[in-house]
Structure formats: structure tokens, C-alpha cells
Amino acid sequence: MARYFTEPSRTFSEFLLVPGYSSKECTVENVNLKTPVVKFKKGEKPALEMNIPLTSAVMQAVSDDRMAVALAKEGGISFIYGSQSVESQATMVARAKAYKAGFVISDSNISPDDTLQDVLILKRKTGHSTVAVTTDGTAQGKLVGLVTNRDYRISRMERDTKVSEFMTPLDQLIMAPAGTSLKEANNVIWNSKINQLPIVDKDGKLQYLVFRKDYDNHKENTAELLDNQKRYVIGAGINTRDYMVRIPALVEAGADVFCIDSSEGYSEWQRDTLEWVRKNYGDSVKVGAGNVVDREGFRFLAECGADFVKVGIGGGSICITREQKGIGRGQASAVIEVAEARNEYFEETGIYIPICSDGGIVYDYHMTLALAMGADFIMLGRYFARFDESPTNKVNINGSYMKEYWGEGSGRARNWQRYDMGGDETLSFEEGVDSYVPYAGSLRDNVSLSLKKVKSTMCNCGVLSIPELQEKAKMTVISTTSLVEGGAHDVLLKDNNLNYK
């Protein structure tokens, strides 16, 4: 007979945290969200920690080098997607590692022969008001001018007006030569009362833009995650097929930590991958594995040498694995059992292996629940796909701005390696969908708000750190009627005139 679990497969929405005693020290400002990323021995410090418990998913629609830099600035790690060529992924990693705080490679570029209409389209796509005008319209072409909101008036200009006619030309720009330090660049900005400073090389080619607004942002980025050379910490996704080629290239590019991107981690393919890493790199290369949903899966990957274990099958917003294959587990149930297995393993061996909750996060409070249930950090796809920094297009759907978002198991991504079971190099059927998510603005603003909610909830529980939350949290399973009671009900809301009963 099949083995049956006696408890239902539960999701985060079926639980609530019960308040604990809050002392006067329990304020949002006092909460510390630092968390381990890789395994460590009892009494020792982890080789890699994050300042916030958030990572972005190994997905084409989520994690590229721009996302990696943006999330590292906030204290988390982005795992740059691996469903691309080795060369392309290594280039993204190298670009993120080479990023200089404050020096921005322009991603809004246009040529002088383009039109106002082209500028408006580009502005809608990138969300940036400053457009660099280069001879060839590329990020590092020869600079000939800048276009900002002050250079045009939509109501008074024809859309086919050429950029060369209204841009601020080169001879009116204040610039600085390549090699200028960030301190020197900011001094020029403040002394000249300008909002942006182009950095150009000896041939007049654009290298970077330094923005006035980034000075304040940089000063506020107290949680930014840096390596020992003051570069941003960058993650990368790998698979169980070409790891012998991909991992060396990504190590050379500077990746700090890897994650095996797979829909199901309890497999011989993951064991082979981890064994190869340990044989060739020892413990110097950090690799997380997964995904698993129970005690046996965790124990298997722990004994194979995983640095962290990812938990969750079928809970992602674009994932249809459960529909297609009837396999998976409610995310809350999976995290609870794997966390118990992690703690048992720690008691037996003295080795703590962090676990990552991947999927099932619908509301911000689900993050706190996942952490309370035992997750050391969380991997998010849909959440990060909504932001300016994700690599997808911003589009207007029925009057509302949306961002494109698709699963790695969709026909669009066709990431067969993620679902590889040793067969042909094809995606036999889809396990993900192609969709849209509501556009939400900048990563910084949204992450800040989400983490304020997490910290506030932790204060309600009377705790100031994630380990303390996991030790002291009290939770209750809720009924369907509790869900109704928990939202607005029995009132007529002013915003949408819906009568809640």
C-alpha cells in the first residue's frame, strides 16, 4: 500500500501567528533579520550570511544582473537564471560583480536620429527619465547629449521631432573623465547643481552615469551585502546536466553561491552534481540543492553535501506541476517537516544546514509565517517579477501597467534541464504558465515595506531575530470562517462600493 500522511497538506494561508509578550525593546528598529545562507558547524560563524531573508528565484523573468545588484543593495541574494548559455550567464555574473556602487551603466539609450516618440516608448519601458544620446544608441557609444524631462514638452511638440533637435547637447553638459572616484563625482554634482553626471573615456564614449539621487540611496543602504573585496554578493543557478562546464565558468566570473535549479531534488542527478563539486572544489564552492518537501528528501541532500536545501514543489504562482503530475505538497506542511528534519540533523551532527522556502508566498505576512515555521530564508519569483529591476517588459493591459512573468516550465522558457529526468533534451509537457503580474514600481520601496511588516509582526510575537522567532513563535490553524473574519466584512467600503458580508 502507498504511505499516507495523516495530516492535510497545508498552505501558509491556513495559519496565523498568536501574539507573544512584547517588551519595550520590541520595536521595528531593533529587529535583526540577518540569516545564514550556507551550512556551518555548531559554534562557528557561517561563511555566508544575508542581511535580509530574501532571495530572487532562478528564473528568466526574474533574476538577471540588474536584479542581482538591486537585491544585493538591500541585503539579499539574486540567483541569476541558468536557462541560457554558459557564456551569457557568466557575463551577467561578471557584470554584477564588476558593478561599482554609484556608477550606473545606462540602460536608457537612444541615437540623435531617433524621435520624441522613441524617447517616450523607451521611458515607458525602463521607467527612467534620463536618456543618454549616443552616436549608435548604445550604452557605451560616443556621447552626444542627454534627454531629461526638462528637454521636451509633449503638448507642444510633434512626436516625430528628432532627438537631436531637443536634447541637451554635449557642449552644454558637465562631464567627468573615466577614473573619477565616486566622491569626486558627487562633489561635481553638488557643486554644479546638476542631477546626473556622465563619465566618459578619452574617446568621448559613455562609461557610466552618476545620479544625485543615488547618493542618498547609497548612504541609506546600510544592509547591502558585500564580499571581502567590497563587491556585491551574487548567486547563480546551475543544472544537473552541464554543471562540469557551467560551474567553472561561473566561479571564474565571480559567483559567490550556486543553487541547483530543479523541480525535484531527491534524485541521483543532484547527488552526482554535489559529489562532483566536493571532489573538484571541496568546501570552497557553496551549492544549495532541492527542491524537496519531506524529511527523507532533506536528509538525502544533507548527506550528499548540500550547503542549503530548498523546500517546495508546485506552490509557485506560475507552477502547474500539481495539476499536470499530481505531485507536491502544501508549502506550510513541507517547510514544517523539513525544518524539523534540519533540527534533528543539527542535533545529531552539529552541522546546521539552512533551508529556503521556495513558493507559496501570496501575502507579505506569509514571509513571516515561513520564517516562523523554520525557513532561514525565502525564494520569491512573482514578488520580484513585479518590479522595475526584473528583466521583463512593462506593458499596458486594459489600462493597467503589468509586467510579463512566465515559469521555467512554460513553453516560453522551455527550461527542460530544470525538469530533467534523464530522458531526451526536450520539455515533453508544460509545468508552468506564461502570464502577467501587476507592475509595482521599484524593488527598494517594495522590499522596505514588506520587511517593515515582517519586523512589525515579529515585534508582536515579542522577538527581535529570526532564530528567536523560530524558538518562540506560537501558531494556530484557522478555519474558513476565520478567513472571512480576518478581512473587511459587514461594511460598505468607500473605495470600491463592495458590500462585505
Residue 243 C-beta-side C-alpha neighbours within 13 Å = 27
Cβ neighbourhood burial of 311 (10 Å; 0-12, 13-18, 19+): buried
Rounded CA gap, 354 and 309, in Å? 7
Q: Is 412 exposed, middle or buried (0-12, 13-18, 19+ CB in 10 A)?
A: middle
Is there a contact between 233 and 226 (Cβ–Cβ < 8 Å)? yes
**49-50 vs 35-36, strand pairing mode:** antiparallel
- In angstroms, rounded to a whole number, what is the distance separating the alpha carbons of residues 417 and 204? 44
Helix (H) or strand (E) holding 77: strand 77-80
From 95, 246, 271, 418, active-site residue: 418
Are residues 254 and 94 in contact, defined by beta-carbon separation less than 8 angstroms? yes
Catalytic residue among 319, 356, 459, 461: 319
Active-site annotation holds for 418? yes
By the 8 A CB rule, do 167 and 119 touch?
A: no
Classify residue 470 by burial, with Cβ atoms within 10 Å: 0-12, 13-18, 19+: middle
DSSP H helical ranges for 133-208: 163-166, 182-192
Q: Which 8-state DSSP code applies to residue 100? A: P
- Residue 304 is among the residues annotated as catalytic for this protein: no
Nearest Cα residue to 319 out of 236, 415, 241, 424: 415
Nearest Cα residue to 312 out of 271, 273, 355: 355
The strand pair at 394-397 and 400-406 is best described as antiparallel
Instruction: Name the residues annotated as catalytic.
Output: 319, 418
